[in-house]
Amino acid sequence: MFKNLFLGNTKVDFYKKSKFFYKVFIIEITIFVGIIIMVFTNTLDLNLSVDFTGGTTYQFDTEYSSEDISDVMNSNILEVSRYQTFENSNSIIFRATEASSEEEAQFLDYLSNKFNIPDSEIEFQRVGPTFGQEITQKGLRALIIFLSFIVILITYRYEFRYSLIALAALVHDLLLCFSIYLLLNLEITPSTVIALLTILGYSLYDTVILFDKLNDARKVKKQNNLNIETLNSTFNEVLMRSINTSITSVIPIASILFIGNYLGLSGALTDFALPLFIGIMSGTYSSIFVTIPFLSKIIKN
């Protein structure tokens, strides 16, 4: 099996399986849309970080008891909306709604006295509510320009229909990642947004390499249109590259996650690694199993 896989001698009839993958794709998209509807109807909570909602966070390492936490939550200096603790470390994070600078300074003093740590060791972050909007707006603008550019590029090099397939794979990856975030109620930070943008590039990179291989195979066999045989042989050959590439890409990211977890660090870097981890897996999957049903449709027509 392994030898066949390595030689690209596997004889999977991808064309025949395309209906199955199409169904899987439709089911997935239905689930994603369902999850998003649940967010809009407030059945699911969108866990946005302080960067998007505005407010302040205070993070520090200390020995604490649950009493300490409830003391802080009930302190009347400013409105502490929630807290977060971590299994592997003594880190603790308090989140509060926006307040005046004096109140913030007072609260910092309070924490520093209560937990007996110098206030320079308390991580402090304050974000106005417009900042998150700005990130989101700029991110969306970047996304739209980038996608239009990709459509033009793929249309120029291959075909217009191919660019739609690439977009379908892309949307699949983004939605999958987003849905997992929503379901696990993970916090969405600016790092998550950067990671989503990276997934975008990654997913396209994978799909483009695949299209290139299909194109080559077609040229070698001097065919004008894609046919079933070329589709099957190309995908069988490309399996090994896809598996190898996703393994090599995932390893550095997995090492961030595991080393980070081992050291008890939960910061921006691990915030970043998780969506990438999901995204690369999903990108590898979609570059093969989301494109096949659509490519098969092209062949049928």
The structure tokens listed for 249 are: 């890409």
Torsion of CA 79, 80, 81, 85, to 10 degrees: 180
Q: Binding segment for another protein among 37-45, 224-232, 252-260, 284-292 (CB under 8 A)? A: 252-260
> What is each CA distance from 125 to 68, 108, 122, in whole angstroms?
21, 11, 10
Q: Binding segment for another protein among 30-38, 76-84, 133-141, 177-185 (CB under 8 A)? A: 133-141
Report if residue 84 touches another protein, rule: CB under 8 A: no
Report if residue 197 touches another protein, rule: CB under 8 A: yes
In the complex, the smallest distance separating the C-beta of residue 60 from another protein, rounded to whole angstroms, is 8
Q: Binding segment for another protein among 33-41, 55-63, 66-74, 287-295 (CB under 8 A)? A: 55-63
244 CB burial (10 A radius; 0-12, 13-18, 19+): exposed
**How many H-runs (helices) and E-runs (strands) does the chain carry?**
11, 4
Nearer to another protein among residue 232 and residue 245 (C-beta):
245
Q: Which of 44, 69, 135, 171 binds another protein (CB under 8 A)?
A: 135
Q: Which residue has the tokens 């649940």?
A: 38
Count the neighbouring beta carbons within 10 Å of the beta carbon of residue 232. 19
Report if residue 267 touches another protein, rule: CB under 8 A: yes
Nearer to another protein among residue 12 and residue 263 (C-beta):
263
Residue 49's φ and ψ, nearest 5 degrees, are -75, 170
Nearer to another protein among residue 48 and residue 240 (C-beta):
240
Nearer to another protein among residue 46 and residue 250 (C-beta):
250
**Cβ atoms of residues 237 and 62 within 8 Å:** no
